[in-house]
Amino acid sequence: MTELKNDRFLRALLRQPVDVTPVWMMRQAGRYLPEYKATRAQAGSFMDLCMNPDLACEVTIQPLERFDLDAAILFSDILTIPDAMNLGLYFEEGEGPKFKKTVRTQADVDALPIPDPERDLGYVMNAVKTIRHELNGRVPLIGFSGSPWTLATYMVEGGSSKEFRHIKGMLYGQPDTLHQLLEKLAESVTSYLNAQIRAGAQAVQIFDTWGGALSTPAYLEFSLKYMEQIVHGLIREHEGRKIPVILFTKNGGQWIEHIAAAGADAVGLDWTTELGSVRARTKGRVALQGNMDPNVLFGSPAGIKAEVARILDSYGYGSGHVFNLGHGINQFADPEHAKVFVDAVHELSARYHR
Cite the annotated binding site for substrate by residue number.
27-31, 77, 154, 209, 327
Q: How far apart are CA 245 and CA 250, in angstroms?
A: 16
Catalytic residue, chosen from 8, 15, 27, 104, is 27
Q: How far apart are CA 56 and CA 293, in angstroms?
A: 27
Neighbours of 40 (CB within 10 A): 18
Please report the DSSP string for 184-211 in residue order.
HHHHHHHHHHHHHHHHT-SEEEEEETTG
Catalytic residue, chosen from 8, 11, 40, 279, is 40
Check: CB of residue 282 under 8 Å from CB of residue 267: yes
Q: Is 66 a catalytic residue?
A: no
Q: Is 27 a catalytic residue?
A: yes
Catalytic residue, chosen from 7, 70, 77, 120, is 77
Amino acid, single-letter form, for residue 116: D
Q: How far apart are CA 126 and CA 124, in angstroms?
A: 5
Of 230, 229, 232, 273, which is closest to residue 250 (Cα–Cα)?
A: 273
Check: CB of residue 212 under 8 Å from CB of residue 255: no
Q: Is 77 a catalytic residue?
A: yes
Q: Is 36 a catalytic residue?
A: no
Q: Is 354 a catalytic residue?
A: no
H/E stretch holding 325 reads: strand 321-325
Residues known to be catalytic: 27, 31, 40, 77, 154
